[in-house]
Amino acid sequence: MLPDAANRATPETGAATARRRAAYASHAAGLFTIIFGLTIGVTGDSIPLAYQYAPLAASVVVLGLPHGAVDHLVLPRSRGRPVTSRALAAVGGCYLAIGGAYAALWFVAPAVSFALFILLTLVHWGQGDVYALCELTDVSYLETPAHKGLALVVRGGLPMLVPLVAFPDQYAFVAGTLVGLFDPGAAAALEGAFRPTVRYAVAVGFGALIAATLALGYRRTDALEPWLIDAGETLGLTAFFAAVPPILAIGLYFTGWHSVRHIVRTLLIDDAAVAALADGDARGAIGRFARDAAPLTAGSLVVFAALAVAVPRTPATVPDAAALYLVGVAVLTLPHVVVVSLLDLEQGLWTAR
Ligand SMILES: CC1=C(/C=C/C(C)=C/C=C/C(C)=C/C=O)C(C)(C)CCC1
Ligand SMILES: [Fe+2]
């Protein structure tokens, strides 16, 4: 990128315009998600459970599932290479082998698989926000891999740990529905995580980590505004996950936060979408994404159908259907994380700058 002085002297390039607009859209979507969630969430328990599942259900076609359905395109695009059948086969093979192995693990050890799912989500949602902080918010202080690692744990920990502290019963309920698809007795193995002592320890430890990470960023930043955005997002998400019932909160966050940011990222490595964004043609850019994502969004429905047939207990209620969806998402997320991590490396996100 151009140094600041040169930036002012020359007119903004099309790519820079596209990036600025994409960053604006992702921040606006994030802010909307938090405000919307807090507004309807504080009415809390009065929202019927089936409705709380609505954003998660919508994520099958809106933003959520589609955000990963362009995984076969992102690596060649980020390298400026054509999408060859070899590249497609590599991503397909990765999904089959890694996703297949994890799917098998759910049948053998569902409680372990659930714990892994929480850890996997923490890492993945955290890595997504490290990208956003570095490339969309333009923070200057995430220079070392260690500092980025701290940011990853904070940002990924917010959706996975705050609900554990604030809503242990709903957390345990959802855990029980996922594990229960395979073995109703196995959920007992997770009970320890919901004990008050564990939750207090998580609250104190994670709270201290958030405070320390924000303080370190404040000390190292050379401009106040990006740090204020980081701190505002961090505290906003803390309030969001502490106050909004978690099934609703996770559904809103998955679509309006994580997926929007990742979709924006995929647009910025697609030359035609960048040109459309630079022209102010957001509709054209989004249309391209929708076309790219449609085939494999539909394809992933096969995974859910196969799971529905294979699980020992056929899901019959809304929570059970959602549990089946989440297990499918878990299985698809492991290879998705491999692709996104390779994209991180390709874009030099984790190298010290
Ligand atoms: C729904 C829900 C939970 C778990 C959700 C998870 C783990 C979602 C992961 C989604 C992913 C990985 C999407 C892909 O990017 C918790 C935390 C148990 C709390 C109760 C509600
Ligand atoms: Fe993702």
The domain segmentation of the chain, as residue ranges, is 57-346
Give tens-digit pLDDT for 71-94. Answer: 999 999 999 999 999 999 999 999
pLDDT at 346: 95
The whole-angstrom distance between residue 8's C-alpha and the CA centroid of its chain comes to 34
The percentage of the chain sitting over the pLDDT mark of 70, rounded to a whole number, equals: 96
Write out the binding residues.
67, 124, 258, 262
Mutate to test the pocket of ligand 1, among 59, 174, 261, 333 (most ligand atoms within 8 A of CB): 174
Predicted ipTM > 0.90: yes
Element at 321 (helix H, strand E):
helix 318-346
Mutate to test the pocket of ligand 1, among 119, 241, 326 (most ligand atoms within 8 A of CB): 326
Write out the binding residues for Fe cation.
67, 124, 258, 262
Q: Which atom of ligand 1 is nearest to the CA of 117?
A: 7
How many C-beta atoms lie closer than 10 Å to residue 325's C-beta? 22
Give the ligand at the shortest distance from the Cα of 64: 1
Residue 9 has pLDDT above 70, yes or no: no
pLDDT at 14: 86
Angle of the 246-253 helix axis to the 145-166 helix axis, nearest 10:
150
The percentage of the chain sitting over the pLDDT mark of 90, rounded to a whole number, equals: 91
Residue 41 has pLDDT above 90, yes or no: no
The whole-angstrom distance between residue 37's C-alpha and the CA centroid of its chain comes to 17
Give tens-digit pLDDT for 22-31. Answer: 999 999 999 9
Give the chain's mean pLDDT.
Answer: 94
The whole-angstrom distance between residue 47's C-alpha and the CA centroid of its chain comes to 24
Among residues 340, 338, 339, 313, the alpha carbon closest in space to that of 327 is found at: 313
pLDDT at 4: 52
How many C-beta atoms lie closer than 10 Å to residue 10's C-beta? 10
Residue 5 has pLDDT above 90, yes or no: no
For residue 275, name the pLDDT band (cuts at 50, 70, 90). Answer: very high
Among residues 181, 113, 173, the alpha carbon closest in space to that of 331 is found at: 113
pLDDT at 255: 97
Task: Quote the pTM value.
Answer: 0.94
Give the ligand at the shortest distance from the Cα of 329: 1
What are the phi and psi torsion angles at 339 (to 5°)? -65, -45
